[in-house]
Amino acid sequence: MNYFELYNLPESFVLDEKALKNTYYKLSREYHPDFYANEPQEKQQEILQLSTLNTNAYRTLSDQDLRMQYILKEHGLLEEGGKNELPGEFLMEMMEINEELMELEFDFDAAKFHQISEQTIGLVAQLDNDILPVLQRYPELHGITKDEALDEVKTYYLKKKYLLRIQETLSKFATRS
């Protein structure tokens, strides 16, 4: 079952957190296995599956990145292997940053480290700022189709994931600065 359907919420990148939490607690009470201890084994198993589904749905929908990943996967846009390609201009920019990271590995320079850190923080902030209008209006879009919006979100998601890997690499250098 689709997590949005389970929670009776419209598919959206921006959710009403209070409504999400209220539904989670309501379903947690409804599907609590202790209330079904005297039921047949099949019913107990069904409730356990519903309880697990509720927990997984809440974990996914309450986390912005997991929710985004979930929506993209539901639409078949995030696949293992191919189709997860990033724009060439972004990859060129990342190649430069990766080369600078390799240089830091061999010859650490605190000033260069801070410059790269600030650059990646700025890139993430710019990405977040650029995609926010699409996330806020989805799925009620004007001027672009739902598929175009999902493609924009996919590109954003993949870029941000790439930048987060760079930030993880930078955090390994943090102890040297």
pLDDT in tens, 125-169: 999 999 999 999 898 878 889 999 999 999 999 999 999 999 999
Q: Give the model's pLDDT for residue 140.
A: 81
The tens digit of pLDDT for each residue in 28-51 reads 999 999 999 999 999 999 999 999
More confident residue, 16 or 84: 16
The tens digit of pLDDT for each residue in 165-175 reads 999 999 887 76
Domains and CATH numbers, the chain: 3-74 (1.10.287.110), 88-176 (1.20.1280)
pTM attached to this predicted model: 0.86
Residues 6 or more apart whose CB falls under 8 angstroms from that of 20 comprise 7, 9, 58, 61, 62
Q: Give the model's pLDDT for residue 105.
A: 87
pLDDT above 60 (res 114): yes
